[in-house]
């Protein structure tokens, strides 16, 4: 644990693998910049790996003032114990007030371990981050300028704001796509701080026999049109309505968590708080009720079309267009209309 | 030889079934309307533990922290083949966040002197996936997250295939180790009918009807052990409210704002009208 340190920087963990950044640390730098400016402090990133010094440039261009570089051959591959030691060493030496980490497989392995070592708080899968005041009624104490870690709370339409008033750093994880990435500023420079953390062979607790990576086949974030299906599809065969409509519009198929849990569509197609956040030109929600954890990942779409048989479904409240009816009838009608409509247009 | 294995399992509200009536008028969750279930991935953790025991011998102890009602999942574990079940229950543990919870559970694992701990990847009530890794850190155990396939357990440690989303890794972790398990790892075994007949009657002391003697239950192997924070030698500064660095600043019940909204008939004409509007505004086409 570190003491509350109002001069402390805002930090982002710069997750990289084999010399490539995931998108989420760059997205977090955009948000981090905003928070740091609001607090009047610097923005730092922690970059850990082997032979990764050249990657610092990208971090400066994305808004980082300082890059804390831990470069060591023993850190070529991510391992919980060694990376935790490196991150905690940096925290203790430089005392940041906030640490933001992507909620990736690595981030969700690293963060809890770091938080446990530092005995500080951690909020997973935040959908928004702000700076604000916290009043503790019990002791009548006011804490200024804390990190608001905002996320839907389980069940119903509840949004909880979590704070860590006393035991710092204030840590949060955020899924990829939640924070929009701002443009890089080519040529922007910053300060490189080399950190020696004294990692030894003893810190490598795992024997890694083989690593296999595959590029994700879905690009939900980049899709112009997303057609998402929910539990309302009823079964996997029927989910073809979603695929059909997606094909016919040149869009990407997606699903709610219920659809993923039911095995209708793989997990990397999940939209929402614990899936991917999308902002397409058109989002079509078919047989999706509109739970807050789902809408957290799609409500910023330019246009939303909801198809649901329940007129009271919450999804209609975030939609621009709605058809209240049985999806088994509505979707084929839409496909027919699209085929007709588009051909009229091309003919004309 | 065999391994001393601990499984941490949590009873959770069945969040998949959150529907209209699971919410109260004021927008809060009506917990009574939600069935409490065995956290799904904890069943996969239990199955992995039972498979290791079946192959190498040893014992599987299931630990849960929660109110006495949580004994339901302990009975369930015994019926599926666990050797022992322990309820960690204490008023002073209320309001614990993941950090405090992981501290309390790690004290239980310490007391049990485990070589191997299995947790679910995450509990569906919060999806935080923090308690397992935080216990590993506190215990100084090797952490392996996202087990998708158990390869073997041997002198070098436990060898598993981990699914990391964009691929997989084949790793060996030195023991003692804590492993978090994915729902794709296995199919949990069903109850064994003989064990079901016996262990459906298992109870913790707080569940016993008046006049029933705990010792008599214990003699029949039907008493679920209960540990409080004193039994775990917990330092009170790390539990409950005091031990939880995260605080709730506020809870907002969101009113979904109905913006400009246009409804179309579920008919061919309605569909055609919608599509032509979408084409007109260049959203599609
Ligand atoms: C910690 C946590 C994280 C979560 N993260 C996510 C997340 O990232 N993404 C996500 O989506 N969810 C998430 N959830 C789950 C979320 O709370 C909901 O349970 C889920 O979104 C519901 O999915 P659904 O709308 O497909 O299913 P349901 O809520 O079951 O809705 C099905 C809908 O289909 C309609 N329907 C049924 N039949 C028809 C028909 N024939 N024609 C037309 N309509 C029909 C029904 O009226 C209903 O509205 C999370 C939950 C928790 C607790
Ligand atoms: N109260 C609890 N009792 C026992 N095990 C728990 C408890 N809370 C969490 N766990 C374990 O930690 C895992 C991750 O939980 P969570 O961090 O809440 O997502 C679960 O799958 C369980 O194995």
Q: Which domain holds residue A333?
A: 225-340
Look-up: residue for tokens 């990407």? A252
With a cut of 50, say whether residue A347 has pLDDT above it. Answer: no
Helix spans in A40-106 (H): 56-61, 80-94
Within 13 Å and on the Cβ side, how many CA atoms surround B181? 29
Tens-place pLDDT, residues B151-197 = 999 988 999 999 998 899 999 999 999 999 999 999 999 998 999 99
Question: What is chain A's mean pLDDT, rounded?
Answer: 95
With a cut of 70, say whether residue A346 has pLDDT above it. Answer: no
Phi, psi at residue A155, to the nearest 5°? 75, 160
Ligand 1 atom at shortest distance from the alpha carbon of A255: 11
Q: Can you give the CATH number for the domain in which A292 is found? A: 3.40.50.1220
| Structural domain total, chain A | 2
**Among A112, A121, A147, A293, the residue to mutate for chain B (most B Cβ within 10 A):** A112
- Does the residue A240 lie in any domain? yes
Q: For chain B, say whether A348 makes contact (Cβ under 8 Å).
A: no
Q: For chain B, say whether A214 makes contact (Cβ under 8 Å).
A: yes
**For ligand 2, mutation pick of B5, B13, B39 (most atoms within 8 Å of CB):** B39
Q: How far are the Cα atoms of A212, B80, B86, B218 from residue B196, in angstroms, in the given order? A: 42, 8, 18, 17
Mean pLDDT of the A197-221 span:
92
Please answer yes or no on whether A122 and B102 come within 8 Å at the CB atom.
no
Q: For chain B, say whether A225 makes contact (Cβ under 8 Å).
A: yes
Domains in chain B, please, with CATH?
3-238 (3.40.50.620)
- Does the residue A65 lie in any domain? yes
Residues A254, A331: one domain?
yes
C-alpha of residue B103 to centroid of ligand 2, in Å:
12
Residues A194, A231: one domain?
no
Q: Which residues contact A89 (CB under 8 A, 6 or more apart)?
A: A70, A195, A197, A198
Residues A252, A150: one domain?
no
A220-246: string of b/e by CB count within 10 Å (b at 16+)? beebebbbbbbbbbeeeebbebbebbb
Please answer yes or no on whether B271 and A165 come within 8 Å at the CB atom.
no
Residues A253, A195: one domain?
no
At B17, is the pLDDT very low, low, confident or very high (cuts 50, 70, 90)? low
Q: Which of B232, B229, B234, B227 has its CA nearest to residue B204? A: B227
Least distant ligand from the CA of A306: 1
**Among A108, A252, A259, the residue to mutate for chain B (most B Cβ within 10 A):** A108
3-class state of residue B266 by DSSP? coil
With beta carbons under 8 A apart, name residues in chain A contacting B250: 160-161
Mean pLDDT of the B186-215 span:
93
Mean pLDDT of the B134-150 span:
98
Please answer yes or no on whether B18 and A164 come within 8 Å at the CB atom.
no
C-alpha of residue B154 to centroid of ligand 2, in Å:
26
Tokens encoding A80 = 């919980």
For ligand 1, atom 47, the nearest C-alpha belongs to: A310
Q: For chain B, say whether A347 makes contact (Cβ under 8 Å).
A: no
Mean pLDDT of the A197-206 span:
95
Residues A39, A114: one domain?
yes
For residue B23, the model assigns a pLDDT of: 55
Q: For chain A, say whether B276 makes contact (Cβ under 8 Å).
A: yes
Residues A46, A172: one domain?
yes
- Does the residue A162 lie in any domain? yes
- Does the residue A334 lie in any domain? yes
For residue A155, the model assigns a pLDDT of: 65
Please answer yes or no on whether B261 and A321 come within 8 Å at the CB atom.
yes
User: In whole angstroms, what is the distance from residue B209 CA to residue A96 CA?
Assistant: 55
- pTM exceeds 0.80 for this model: yes
Q: Can you give the CATH number for the domain in which A195 is found? A: 3.40.50.620
Longest dimension (CA), chain B: 78
Q: For chain A, say whether B10 makes contact (Cβ under 8 Å).
A: no
- Nearest-Å Rg of the Cα atoms of chain B is 23
- Domain final residue pick, A150, A172, A203: A203
User: In whole angstroms, what is the distance from residue B220 CA to residue B212 CA?
Assistant: 13
Hey, which residues 21-80 in chain B have their CB within 8 Å of chain A?
22-23, 27-29, 34
With a cut of 50, say whether residue A112 has pLDDT above it. Answer: yes
Look-up: residue for tokens 């085929």? A339
Hey, which residues 143-162 in chain A have their CB within 8 Å of chain B?
146, 148-149, 153-162
Residues A55, A173: one domain?
yes
For residue A348, the model assigns a pLDDT of: 40
At A87, is the pLDDT very low, low, confident or very high (cuts 50, 70, 90)? very high
Name the minimum distance, in Å, from the CA of A219 to any CA of chain B: 13
Residues A138, A17: one domain?
yes
How buried is residue B147: exposed, middle or buried, by Cβ count under 10 Å (0-12/13-18/19+)? buried
Name the minimum distance, in Å, from the CA of B192 to any CA of chain A: 26
C-alpha of residue A308 to centroid of ligand 1, in Å:
11
Taking phi over 0 as left and psi of -120 to 50 as alpha, with beta for the rest, B71 belongs to alpha
Mean pLDDT of the A323-328 span:
98
Contact call for residues A253 and A280 (beta carbons, < 8 A): no
User: In whole angstroms, what is the distance from residue A110 CA to residue B134 CA?
Assistant: 10
Q: Which residues line ligand 1 (CB under 6 A)?
A: A 154, 230-232, 256-259, 270-275, 287-289, 291, 293-294, 297, 308-310, 313, 326-328; B 15-16, 18, 124, 126-127
Tens-place pLDDT, residues B233-268 = 999 999 999 999 999 999 888 776 667 899 999 999
Q: Which of A78, A45, A46 has its CA nearest to residue A63? A: A45
Q: For chain B, say whether A108 makes contact (Cβ under 8 Å).
A: yes
Residues A75, A172: one domain?
yes
- Does the residue A154 lie in any domain? yes
Q: Which residues contact B232 (CB under 8 A, 6 or more apart)?
A: B88, B104, B107, B108, B111
Residues A149, A56: one domain?
yes
Least distant ligand from the CA of B12: 2
User: In whole angstroms, what is the distance from residue B203 CA to residue B214 CA?
Assistant: 9
Ligand 1 atom at shortest distance from the alpha carbon of A292: 17
- Domain final residue pick, A203, A236, A251: A203
With a cut of 80, say whether residue A323 has pLDDT above it. Answer: yes
Mean pLDDT of the B222-226 span:
95
- Domain final residue pick, A203, A234, A260: A203
With a cut of 90, say whether residue A304 has pLDDT above it. Answer: yes
- Does the residue A307 lie in any domain? yes
- Does the residue A208 lie in any domain? no
- In percent, the amount of chain A with pLDDT more than 90 equals 92
Helix spans in B127-187 (H): 131-139
Mean pLDDT of the A124-148 span:
96
Q: Which residue of B167, B173, B265 is in closest CB contact with A212?
A: B167
ipTM of the complex: 0.94
- Does the residue A211 lie in any domain? no
Residues A182, A244: one domain?
no
**Among A337, A342, A346, A348, the residue to mutate for chain B (most B Cβ within 10 A):** A337
A344 → chain B, closest CA residue: B276
Q: For chain B, say whether A72 makes contact (Cβ under 8 Å).
A: no
With a cut of 80, say whether residue B16 has pLDDT above it. Answer: no
- In percent, the amount of chain A with pLDDT more than 70 equals 97
Name the minimum distance, in Å, from the CA of B230 to any CA of chain A: 21
- What does chain B come to in residues? 285
C-alpha of residue A267 to centroid of ligand 1, in Å:
14
Residues A197, A149: one domain?
yes
User: In whole angstroms, what is the distance from residue A321 CA to residue A333 CA?
Assistant: 16
User: In whole angstroms, what is the distance from residue B32 CA to residue B19 CA?
Assistant: 13
Look-up: residue for tokens 């963990």? A13
3-class state of residue B207 by DSSP? helix
At B24, is the pLDDT very low, low, confident or very high (cuts 50, 70, 90)? low
Name the minimum distance, in Å, from the CA of A164 to any CA of chain B: 5
């Amino acid at each position: 644990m570190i003491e509350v340190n109002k001069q402390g920087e805002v930090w982002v963990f710069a997750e990289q693998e084999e010399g490539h950044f995931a998108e989420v640390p760059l997205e977090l730098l955009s948000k981090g910049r905003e928070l740091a400016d609001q607090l009047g402090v610097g923005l730092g990133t922690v970059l850990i790996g082997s032979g990764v010094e050249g990657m610092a440039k990208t971090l400066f261009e994305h808004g980082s003032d300082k890059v804390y570089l831990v470069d060591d051959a023993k850190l070529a591959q991510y391992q919980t114990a060694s990376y935790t030691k490196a991150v905690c060493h940096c925290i203790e030496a430089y005392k940041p007030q906030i640490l933001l980490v992507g909620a990736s497989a690595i981030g969700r392995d690293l963060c809890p371990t770091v938080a446990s070592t530092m005995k500080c708080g951690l909020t997973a899968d935040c959908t928004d981050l702000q700076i604000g005041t916290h009043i503790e009624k019990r002791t009548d104490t006011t804490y200024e300028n804390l990190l608001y870690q905002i996320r839907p709370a389980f069940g119903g339409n509840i949004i909880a704001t979590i704070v860590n008033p006393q035991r710092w750093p204030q840590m949060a994880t955020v899924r990829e796509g939640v924070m929009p990435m701002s443009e890089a500023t080519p040529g922007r420079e910053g300060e490189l701080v080399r950190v020696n953390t004294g990692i030894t062979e003893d810190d490598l607790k795992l024997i890694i026999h083989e690593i296999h990576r595959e590029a994700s086949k879905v690009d939900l974030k980049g899709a112009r049109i997303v057609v998402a299906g929910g539990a309302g599809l009823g079964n996997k065969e029927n989910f073809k309505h979603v695929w059909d409509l997606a094909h016919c519009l040149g869009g990407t198929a997606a699903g709610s968590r219920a659809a993923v849990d039911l095995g209708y569509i793989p997990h990397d197609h999940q939209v929402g708080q614990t899936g991917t956040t999308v902002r397409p030109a058109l989002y079509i929600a078919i047989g999706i009720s509109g739970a807050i954890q789902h809408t957290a990942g799609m409500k910023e779409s330019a246009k939303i079309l909801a198809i649901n048989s329940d007129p009271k479904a919450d999804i209609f409240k975030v939609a621009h267009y709605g058809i209240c009816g049985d999806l088994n009838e509505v979707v084929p009608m839409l496909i027919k209309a699209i085929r007709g409509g588009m051909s009229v247009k091309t003919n004309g | 030889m065999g391994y001393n294995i601990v499984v941490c399992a949590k009873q959770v509200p069945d969040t998949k079934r959150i529907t209209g009536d699971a919410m109260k008028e004021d927008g809060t969750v009506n917990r009574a309307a939600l069935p409490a279930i065995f956290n799904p991935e904890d069943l996969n953790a239990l199955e992995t533990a039972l498979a290791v025991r079946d192959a190498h011998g040893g014992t599987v102890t299931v630990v849960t922290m929660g109110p006495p009602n949580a004994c339901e999942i302990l009975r369930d574990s015994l019926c599926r083949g666990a050797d022992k079940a322990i309820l960690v229950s204490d008023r002073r543990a209320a309001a614990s966040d993941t950090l405090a919870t992981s501290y309390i559970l790690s004290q239980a694992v310490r007391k049990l002197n485990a070589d191997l701990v299995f947790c679910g990847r995450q509990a569906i009530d919060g999806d935080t996936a923090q308690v397992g890794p935080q216990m590993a850190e506190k215990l100084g155990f090797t952490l392996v997250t996202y087990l998708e396939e158990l390869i073997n357990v041997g002198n070098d440690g436990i060898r598993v295939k981990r699914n990391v989303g964009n691929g997989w890794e084949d790793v060996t972790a030195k023991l003692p180790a804590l492993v978090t398990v994915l729902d794709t790892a296995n199919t949990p075994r069903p109850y064994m009918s003989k064990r079901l007949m016996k262990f459906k009657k298992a109870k913790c002391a707080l569940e016993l009807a008046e006049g029933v003697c705990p010792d008599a239950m214990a003699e029949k192997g039907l008493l679920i052990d209960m540990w409080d924070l004193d039994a775990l030698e917990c330092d009170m500064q790390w539990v409950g409210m005091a031990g939880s660095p995260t605080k709730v600043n506020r809870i907002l019940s969101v009113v979904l704002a109905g913006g400009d909204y246009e409804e179309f008939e579920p008919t061919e004409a309605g569909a055609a009208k919608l599509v032509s509007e979408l084409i007109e505004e260049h959203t599609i086409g």
